[in-house]
Amino acid sequence: MLKRNASALALAASLLVPVAAQAEGIVGLITKTNTNPFFVKMKEGAEAKAKELGVELRSFAGKIDGDNESQVEAVENLIAAGAKGILITPNDSKAIVPSIAKAREAGLLVIALDTPLEPADAADATFATDNFKAGELIGEWAAATLGDKARDASIAMLDLNANEVSVDVLRDQGFLKGFGIDVKDDKDIGDEEDARIIGHDVTDGNEEGGRTAMENLLQKSGGEVDLVYTINEPAAAGAYEALKAVGKEKEVLIVSIDGGCPGVKNIKEGVIGATSMQFPLLMASMGVEAIVEFAKSGKKPENSEGLDFFNTGVELITDAPVDGIESQTADQGLEKCWG
């Protein structure tokens, strides 16, 4: 290491190029987009770890959600650049597979972050949040918090979009199972027959969508609602505005998933009851570590027990803890939130 650094310095001095460019190898990071704070944070985590380990990080992103072509291009560029490995959050977990196969043939270690490939073993490893577990946690917490009222609570389900992508399905179904509702087919949103569910509507994961969906479900139930599940915290903030407009914000419990800093602040102020925090920074930094390790020793990361991916963990954040469910306070959450 030392020797290499010294020669790198000499070379840098002679060529007037930055030291980082002379690091030990290239690690590629391909995110879905570069607009979502989740991915922005992921990139920060990867960059910090790359700097620490003395490797060069090259980041790419799709132009919009679902943009597969840009990601294919990025994979090709990274193969051509001689990268040691690739971290990718696939926009299209099926369509990207052939490109990933090429990268692995070329000797690169490919780790899917956040979203698994289909099939999951198309990548060498997957570092992700257990989204089903994340949903289950807030479902259990909600059931415990409502107590006896849980038996006849009206529940509004604010999902992502009409595509029913895996993260959307896992969170939705996890929540329902955690709450104690028979989910029937756990691959399908909306096939439940439990009368407590007012309905499912889509939010596109943003405030405006969250508000509109909440308004429509409130109309559908005739104003009756006790518990709101939201796919993420921006949707939760939108739902809160809709409830506030009809003066119901105090009596309705909102649960969510993500752990973004604005979301955790909303826990602290009672806007959201509980949220499941995920760790994009950790996913990325662990991913960089795994690739560096692979480059050195050829060792590949292993999956968590009982799962087909490596679980980067999920923590319940709430200021109203319940017995039997481990949780952290909003203040503790603020220290590790992202975005």
Q: Which residues bind to other proteins, rule: CB under 8 A?
A: 34-37, 40, 161-162, 190, 199, 201-202, 204-208, 210-213, 215-217, 219-220, 222, 234, 237-238, 240-241, 244-246, 260-262, 265-266, 269, 271, 339
Backbone angles phi, psi at 108, to 5 degrees: -90, 145
d(CA 109, CA 153): 48
Q: How far is the CB of 115 from other proteins (least distance, A)?
A: 18
Q: How far is the CB of 199 from other proteins (least distance, A)?
A: 6
Q: How far is the CB of 244 from other proteins (least distance, A)?
A: 8
Nearest partner of 28 among 95, 80, 105, 94, judged by Cα: 80
Q: How far is the CB of 125 from other proteins (least distance, A)?
A: 27
Q: How far is the CB of 213 from other proteins (least distance, A)?
A: 8
d(CA 90, CA 72): 10
Nearer to other proteins, 43 or 84 (CB): 43
d(CA 200, CA 195): 13
Q: What is the DSSP letter of 152?
A: G
Nearer to other proteins, 48 or 307 (CB): 48
Q: How far is the CB of 60 from other proteins (least distance, A)?
A: 16
d(CA 309, CA 70): 25
Nearer to other proteins, 174 or 210 (CB): 210
Nearer to other proteins, 217 or 290 (CB): 217
Nearer to other proteins, 72 or 237 (CB): 237
Burial class (CB in 10 A: 0-12, 13-18, 19+), 166: middle
Nearer to other proteins, 68 or 221 (CB): 221
Q: How far is the CB of 97 from other proteins (least distance, A)?
A: 25
Residue ranges of E strands in the chain: 26-31, 56-61, 85-88, 109-113, 125-128, 155-159, 197-202, 227-230, 253-258, 274-277, 310-311, 315-318
What letters, b where the CB count within 10 A reaches 16 and e where it falls short, cover 268-296? eeebbbbbbbbbbbbbbbbbbbbbbbbbe
d(CA 53, CA 24): 9
Nearer to other proteins, 135 or 205 (CB): 205
